[in-house]
Structure 1
Amino acid sequence: MTPSNRPDETDAPEAEVGEQQGTKRKPKVKKRELKAKIRALEAEIAETRENVPDEPLYGLTPRLEAAVMRALEQERLPIIPRLMRPLHPADQADLIERLAPEQRLTLIAAMGATFDADILAYLDATVRDELVGTLGEEDLTRFLSALDSDDAVDLFGELDEEEQARILAALPAKDRIFLEEGLNFPEDSAGRLMQREMVVVPSHWTVGQTIDFLRTVRNLPDDFYDIFVVDPGHRPVGELALSHLLRAKRPVRVSDIMRKDFRKVRAEMDQEEVALLFRQYGLVAAPVVSEDDRLLGVITVDDVVDVIDEEAEEDLMRLAGLGESDLYGSLWDTTKTRFPWLVMNLLTAIAASLVIGMFEATIEKVVALAVLMPIVASMGGNAGTQTLTVAVRALAMRDIDTRNAMKFIAKETLVGSLNGIAFAVLVAGASIAWFGDFEIAWIIAVAMVLNLVVAGLAGTLIPLGLQRFKIDPAVASGVFLTTVTDVVGFFAFLGLATLFLL
């Protein structure tokens, strides 16, 4: 599918229409009128561009974005394919994401056959789901055939079962088999991530045979860096980089120059584990094999970059109780996603309030306590969040295990102690300057040290404990940490005040 190479209708040469037997030259007049309208629209859009600062957003500039927006608002759609044509599919996806839902559909309809299927692979998952639900069966079939196998499986998996059945019936046999096999693998696994487009040669071939094969075969992948060498059972026995192939002499067998210590990925392996494997060993590509070690496909580094970005975003969102669809999701969906998290925070706030209520008599007699107690809880919460962020990230990257967990806990506890002492001195000094009361000063100092030490401990023990019980630390750690630091902070400060001030 090469829609970008299609000539625009308005660029077609004018038909020569003669005045035979008194016929009028209406077709030529209509084409001239159409060209005049398009030139007027181009001039109008060019005027719009002049009033917008041209700061590039990768390939998409504010001027071009403003031009497309104005064309959509004024319903002058013939110019849109021309405006979109110079953009890379990733930049076109960025522009589509910035549009309102109804504008997205209008733009895609205006692009027609020039809409590149690769745009769908770059779209945010939420936006892509919305668009896929509005596309017709013919368009979906065309896009699935044009996409790489890994992107096609992702797109196909977003359809309901009834629509999947209709699409499969319309697809060529080869594409149908790839999609059905791809969906048999668990979601977020290497089998879903891999692509079937790869270069495979038998081990008995020579360098010359391999080079001749690469020159003559038609359906090579668009980009590849390694050639996989297989035995008669289609099991990978080696990996050959293109650079090594081109440097070797033609009579040399590929089995003599292939790399035998390559890394294989099981099809059932979680995509996060795959990303860690690529990161650990600096891989560019890795073969994916079945349980019986037969070659199924390949995962390349560009796919892994997407996984790393997706996993990091997921962890970040979960720490704040957000969902993946919060940016582009509907108002109602975003509200539903955030509501449970806010309920949990309400419960932690009630728990902290109950602790404060236990010392109501103390606060009534020493009003200064009400002024100072938020400082202790706030400092504990912030210190705990710092430790928690480090711990969750380290767990995700497999940097913490049973061998070094105690060392990490001890370090973070010591950091909390040192920070607690430092801020205890600062807060005590501020308390003396503010209220002139040395007793309150040393009480808040001790409470500060206690809460920051507990924050360091909780920030490490909570995520480690949750992971031990197979609960994602990024999801639940924040709620528990807030509860611990608030309760301990208020209890330590108000409890000490009750003991020594009353």
Structure 2
Amino acid sequence: MVITDDREIDRAPLQREAETELDEDDRLKPAFVRDVIDLAEAGEVEAARERVGRLHPADIADLFELVSDEDRPLLAHVLGDMLSPDVLAEMNEHVRERLIDLLAPEQVAEIASELDTDDAVAIIEDMEEDEQQAVLQAMEPEDRAAIEDALSYPEETAGRLMQREYVAVPEHVTVGDVIDRLREDIDLATDFWEIFIVDPMHRPVGTCQLSWILRAPRSVAISDAMKREQTLIPVDMDQEEVALRFQKYALISAAVVDKAGRLVGMITVDDVVHIIQEEAGEDILRLSGAGDGDINEPIAMTIRTRLSWLVVNLGTAMLAASVVGFFEGAIAKFALLAVLMPIVSGMGGNAGTQTLAVTVRAIATNQLTASNTLRMIFREFRIATVNGLSLGVLIGTGTSLIFGNPLLGAVIASAMLINNLVAGLAGILVPVTLDRFDVDPAVSSAVFVTTLTDIMGFFSFLGLAVLSGLTAMG
């Protein structure tokens, strides 16, 4: 059965108009962005508001991210109350911080009060201490207490992420009692998919989806309709582990409990989607040393983050160059070594990066644990052996034919095999070791792996050239 709503039909033309502002990938068209800014600069406020008013809050947030820093204050002034809490909740954090700086503490407090706790915390947590306190003082006592409680938990934990607004009922009530409460209590959470059933100590003993409640007879006890098996999230659990639990158990929402097992909040899947996206992008960017990698991040912050890692890489490059210096005499006697040695180190670096990326992802998703680490090491060893032999045969044969020197071909083939083995083992051993010492493998692994493959690439190739007597032929 399909239930229609006249209000949805009335909104259809408006939705179609909004769709004309978006391209086939649901991105705002450049012409639309320019038109809005042109109207704002020309003082045609109503025309600008009319055009933007057709957009979804997430698209309005995108609009602020697409315009320049200089145009954002003007756009915020023109839109006024259209810069709603829902828009700020969807906005990039760097852009949001700049806009928040333009607002008075009372305005920020009013916006935060209209949001779910998790979204309000996301707005307030990055503010300077004095600004944060000013906003909290301007809030209603109940809202302020909820925000302060959330801020008391470490960043990127379930306590920061959870919503304090949830629906919980005692286990002795009936389905009819629950339905009546859902209809009559105006202070209930606005968005939820299931209710939590709690014991007298406010500890969750089960959950019940709204669809079950709607289809069950009113006289049925809620304890008979509920599902007792549930996934509970400790309040201090890292958000990445929270996301993994949602993914593993296909959760829509989950109860968050304190150390005593009492229900203190809930996490919903829409929050977890943001976590998955954030954590996946964060790991990739950390591997490259690019920091947050956000195009809206202040330039000074981006330069500082990237430059620090480039300085570290400069040091490791100098270390690898010192290995080459040991064989300066050999290179002088046989100049072809200088031409070919970057191939060995470069291919080793590529192989190490492949293994490293797979390993870091496996660690992040709990696919690689203490129980299967040894098996994975042997797996990567076999892969590295086959790849090293294959590349060695190719480069060795090519070198022999091009330069007419079979010994040179054998040397570079052997070095290629050795360096691929080192790359494969380093690509898994380095991140696993760092993880065992509670060091984020996504941050530091790339430096170690690249350094090892460069050093071993130069050392194996030049060392074998000397040992084989190849340099004496020069």
Q: TM-score, normalised by structure 2?
A: 0.92
Paired with 2:383 and 2:78, the residues of 1 have a C-alpha distance of 59
1:4-38 superposed Cα distances (whole Å, 9 cap, x missing partner)? xxxxxxxxxxxxxxxxxxxxxxxxxxxxxxxxxxx
- Deviation of 1:161 (Å): 2.7
1:107 aligned to 66, 75, 79, which one? 75
Partner of 1:378 in structure 2?
346
Partner of 1:392 in structure 2?
360
| Structure 2, gaps ≥5 residues long | 1-16
User: Which secondary structure state, in structure 1, belongs to the residue aligned with residue 169 of structure 2?
Assistant: strand
One-letter amino acid of the structure 1 residue matched with residue 32 of structure 2? L
Decide which moves more: 128-137 or 307-316.
Answer: 128-137
- Correspondence 1:265 to 2:233: yes
One-letter amino acid of the structure 2 residue matched with residue 221 of structure 1? A
Partner of 2:443 in structure 1?
475
User: Which secondary structure state, in structure 1, belongs to the residue aligned with residue 46 of structure 2?
Assistant: coil
Partner of 2:14 in structure 1?
none
Partner of 1:165 in structure 2?
133
User: Which secondary structure state, in structure 2, belongs to the residue aligned with residue 111 of structure 1?
Assistant: helix
User: Which secondary structure state, in structure 2, belongs to the residue aligned with residue 338 of structure 1?
Assistant: helix
For these two proteins, the number of residue pairs brought into alignment is 453
Partner of 2:142 in structure 1?
174
Partner of 2:159 in structure 1?
191
Decide which moves more: 373-382 or 268-277.
Answer: 268-277
Paired with 1:164 and 1:436, the residues of 2 have a C-alpha distance of 72
Partner of 2:208 in structure 1?
240
Partner of 2:384 in structure 1?
416
Alignment of 1:102-501 (within 5 A): 102-324=70-292, 326-500=294-468, 501=470
Does the 8 Å contact 1:230/1:238 carry over to 2? Answer: yes
Paired with 2:293 and 2:353, the residues of 1 have a C-alpha distance of 24
2:57 aligned to 81, 89, 107, which one? 89
One-letter amino acid of the structure 1 residue matched with residue 291 of structure 2? G
2:37 aligned to 59, 69, 92, which one? 69
1:105-155 superposed Cα distances (whole Å, 9 cap, x missing partner)? 111111112221111111222222222222212220111111111111121
- Identical amino acids, percent of aligned pairs: 45
Given the superposition, is the C-alpha separation of residues 204 and 79 from structure 1 closer, same or farther in structure 2, using an over 3 Å criterion? Answer: same
Decide which moves more: 121-130 or 354-363.
Answer: 121-130
Does the 8 Å contact 2:37/2:75 carry over to 1? Answer: no
One-letter amino acid of the structure 2 residue matched with residue 146 of structure 1? E
Decide which moves more: 112-121 or 298-307.
Answer: 112-121
Does the 8 Å contact 2:33/2:67 carry over to 1? Answer: no
Alignment of 1:22-101 (within 5 A): 55-58=23-26, 60-101=28-69
- Deviation of 1:325 (Å): 5.5
One-letter amino acid of the structure 2 residue matched with residue 382 of structure 1? N
1:40-60 superposed Cα distances (whole Å, 9 cap, x missing partner)? xxxxxx9xx9xx996244263
User: Which secondary structure state, in structure 1, belongs to the residue aligned with residue 45 of structure 2?
Assistant: coil
Decide which moves more: 293-302 or 319-328.
Answer: 319-328
Paired with 2:392 and 2:409, the residues of 1 have a C-alpha distance of 9
Does the 8 Å contact 2:165/2:265 carry over to 1? Answer: yes
Does the 8 Å contact 1:59/1:88 carry over to 2? Answer: no
Paired with 2:237 and 2:261, the residues of 1 have a C-alpha distance of 14
* Bigger Rg, which one: 1
| Structure 1, gaps ≥5 residues long | 1-45
User: Which secondary structure state, in structure 1, belongs to the residue aligned with residue 196 of structure 2?
Assistant: strand
Does the 8 Å contact 1:54/1:63 carry over to 2? Answer: no
Give RMSD over aligned pairs.
1.8
User: Which secondary structure state, in structure 2, belongs to the residue aligned with residue 237 of structure 1?
Assistant: strand
- Deviation of 1:78 (Å): 3.3
Does the 8 Å contact 2:400/2:407 carry over to 1? Answer: no
- Deviation of 1:262 (Å): 0.8
Partner of 2:8 in structure 1?
none
One-letter amino acid of the structure 1 residue matched with residue 139 of structure 2? L
Does the 8 Å contact 2:21/2:28 carry over to 1? Answer: no
Paired with 2:230 and 2:67, the residues of 1 have a C-alpha distance of 45
Given the superposition, is the C-alpha separation of residues 400 and 124 from structure 1 closer, same or farther in structure 2, using an over 3 Å criterion? Answer: same
Given the superposition, is the C-alpha separation of residues 462 and 88 from structure 1 closer, same or farther in structure 2, using an over 3 Å criterion? Answer: same
Paired with 1:67 and 1:474, the residues of 2 have a C-alpha distance of 42
Does the 8 Å contact 1:185/1:191 carry over to 2? Answer: yes
